[in-house]
Amino acid sequence: KAGVTQTPRYLIKTRGQQVTLSCSPISGHRSVSWYQQTPGQGLQFLFEYFSETQRNKGNFPGRFSGRQFSNSRSEMNVSTLELGDSALYLCATAERGRDEQFFGPGTRLTVL
Amino acid sequence: SQQGEEDPQALSIQEGENATMNCSYKTSINNLQWYRQNSGRGLVHLILIRSNEREKHSGRLRVTLDTSKKSSSLLITASRAADTASYFCATDGASGGSYIPTFGRGTSLIVHP
């Protein structure tokens, strides 16, 4: 099976802009989770989608949102970008969501 | 706040030696997982241990879990240069029906050839 794919791999934006990141799960995986990784805060859970519904949510402001499509592909959107949003955004997929997760290579977002 | 905290933060050893990393967590868990990350890339799942298990093996990896002490350890035996990576523990953070996976800050392992 093909692995988890994330696009784009690198992105440079300026403050105030918005960005959309995409994640395509492994075939058959219905759970998609998003994480933010920074040197200061480490890996933090953003949210999880399962069958097009947000099932769990971490402690992030409303500027961070997501959605999942009927083919399980997921997008994450960050509006009104701040410098502190610079991070590696990782997507992880699983068959059900509570066991082994398979991670994509990540999208490196730089906010200038 | 981080649920899992790895110790030590950094570990430097020679090829062939064993590497032991520890993880402590704060709340009850259903399972605990260990992941490896190479140089800012995606994480690779290594092993999952459930709360009713005490020890699990996978190749050169051995994981123990002590729920009374809320701690886990990852042992890599006969380490190789290719084991150089950051290692994270993750707990399922089950609380009130919600599921918030929580990762520690990781142990950076360097294996010198």
Q: Do A88 and B40 touch (CB under 8 A)?
A: yes
Q: Do A92 and B43 touch (CB under 8 A)?
A: yes
Q: Do A45 and B104 touch (CB under 8 A)?
A: no
Quick one: A26 exposed, middle or buried, by C-beta within 10 A (0-12, 13-18, 19+)?
middle
pLDDT, residue B1, reads 43
Q: Establish if B43 touches chain A: CB-CB under 8 angstroms.
A: yes
| Cis-peptide into B8, omega within 30 deg | yes
The upper half-sphere exposure of residue A27, i.e. CA atoms within 13 Å in the direction of its Cβ, equals 2
Q: Are A19 and A64 in contact (CB under 8 A)?
A: no
Each residue's pLDDT tens digit, B52-108 = 999 999 999 999 999 999 999 999 999 999 999 999 999 886 655 566 788 888 999
Supply the DSSP string of B49-73, one letter for each residue: EETT-SEEEETTEEEEEETTTTEEE
Each residue's pLDDT tens digit, B74-83 = 999 999 999 9
Q: What is the mean pLDDT of residues B107-112?
A: 96
How much of chain A exceeds pLDDT 90, in percent? 82
Q: In the structure, what pLDDT confidence band is assigned to residue B37 with cuts at 50, 70 and 90?
A: very high
Q: Are A25 and A93 in contact (CB under 8 A)?
A: yes
pLDDT, residue B39, reads 82
A47 chain-B contacts, CB cut-off 8 A: none
Q: In the structure, what pLDDT confidence band is assigned to residue B2 with cuts at 50, 70 and 90?
A: very low
Q: What is the mean pLDDT of residues A2-21?
A: 96
Q: Do B99 and A99 touch (CB under 8 A)?
A: no
pLDDT, residue A95, reads 85
A43 chain-B contacts, CB cut-off 8 A: 88, 103
Q: Establish if A60 touches chain B: CB-CB under 8 angstroms.
A: no
B5 chain-A contacts, CB cut-off 8 A: none
Each residue's pLDDT tens digit, A40-82 = 888 999 999 999 999 889 999 999 999 999 999 999 999 999 9
